[in-house]
């Protein structure tokens, strides 16, 4: 089983961090002990999106040699374990990305999956997560600039000895999904392991600091992430049971309130 997965993208704004959080949450929901590490030590967002932005110890302190990795692990939503990065400029300046390799040795045997949210773009901080992972998953939007930058990231991953194991196409529209997937696979030379539609619930869930797979579990976004997580975990997606449950609740409500208008 692939344990350490780096989630990367060529450019910022692709929804990479949102995908990472929700994918990790669903892996945890499927019974896999899952950790998320925010390796974007310069522009960290994981903590901000799930209410862990004011914690006392972060990856900054660990990479600066001021704390152990155990001190920076927090309980996240849905059974997820989270290692947030700090948001201070001083913490960024003191953190040494080269320590990341040693940090991984201390935690990789404690989990089934470790998802590393890598910095966007091509930088020194971003290279290490690409090299140390068992596999890299690219999050790409269906637009030319995102595809071109993702291709650069794929090439860089291969240069540093990493391996892109798949692509997630984020923010697709129903009318072009199949065409976009085919084009992505042809241009990037990697399998698309899932596509996720654009969904207004993403912003609402972010405002509530809750993964959308927990806040809106039956949304199109959530259904797509569940299928991807199930594929990675080697289990059957849970959406069928949830849909049946929803229909039962609807039927029960109609029967209960029938004739009470």
Q: How confident is the model at residue 2 (pLDDT cuts 50, 70, 90)?
A: low
Predicted confidence (pLDDT) per residue in 86-129, tens digit: 989 899 999 999 999 999 999 999 999 999 999 987 777 789 99
CA torsion through residues 114, 119, 78, 192, sign: negative
Q: What is the pLDDT of residues 193-224, one digit of tens each?
A: 999 999 999 999 999 999 999 999 999 999 99
Q: CA 206 to CA 111: how far, in whole Å?
A: 26
75 Cβ neighbours under 8 A, 6+ residues apart: 81, 82
pLDDT tens track for 43-91: 999 999 999 989 999 999 999 999 999 999 999 999 999 999 998 989 9
- Range of the structural domain that residue 228 is part of: 4-257
Question: Using one digit for the tens of pLDDT, what is the confidence trace for 157-175?
Answer: 999 999 999 999 999 998 8
Q: How far apart are CA 113 and CA 111, in angstroms?
A: 5
What is the mean predicted confidence (pLDDT) over 255-259? 47
What angle do helix axes 124-132 and 100-107 make, rounded to 10 degrees? 30
* Residue 40 scores a pLDDT above 70: yes
What is the C-alpha separation between 102 and 220, in angstroms, rounded?
Answer: 38
User: What span, in angstroms and rounded, lies between the C-alpha atoms of 251 and 187?
Assistant: 47
CATH code for the domain in which residue 138 is found: 3.40.50.300
Assess contact for 48 and 86: CB atoms under 8 A. no
In the chain, how many domains are there?
1
């Amino acid at each position: 089983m692939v344990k350490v997965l780096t989630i990367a993208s060529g450019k910022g704004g692709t929804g990479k961090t949102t995908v990472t959080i929700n994918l990790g949450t669903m892996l945890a929901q499927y019974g896999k002990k899952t950790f998320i590490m925010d390796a974007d030590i310069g522009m960290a967002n994981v903590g901000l999106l799930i209410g862990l932005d004011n914690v006392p110890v972060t990856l900054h302190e660990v990479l600066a040699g001021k704390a152990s990795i155990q001190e920076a692990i927090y309980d996240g939503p849905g059974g997820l374990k989270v290692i947030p990065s700090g948001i201070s400029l001083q913490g960024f300046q003191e953190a040494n990305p080269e320590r990341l390799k040693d940090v991984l040795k201390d935690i990789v045997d404690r989990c089934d999956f470790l998802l590393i949210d890598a910095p966007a773009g091509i930088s020194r901080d971003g290279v290490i997560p690409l090299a140390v992972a068992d596999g890299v998953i690219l999050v790409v939007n269906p637009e030319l600039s995102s595809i071109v930058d993702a291709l650069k990231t794929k090439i860089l991953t291969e240069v540093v000895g990493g391996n892109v194991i798949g692509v997630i196409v984020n923010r697709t529209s129903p009318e072009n999904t199949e065409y976009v997937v085919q084009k992505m696979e042809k241009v990037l030379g990697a399998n698309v392991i899932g596509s996720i539609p654009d969904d207004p619930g993403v912003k609402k869930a972010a405002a509530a600091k809750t993964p959308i797979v927990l806040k809106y579990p039956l949304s199109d976004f959530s259904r797509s992430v569940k299928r991807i997580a199930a594929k990675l975990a080697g289990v059957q997606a849970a959406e069928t049971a949830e849909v049946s449950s929803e229909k039962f609740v609807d039927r029960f409500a109609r029967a209960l309130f029938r004739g009470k208008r």
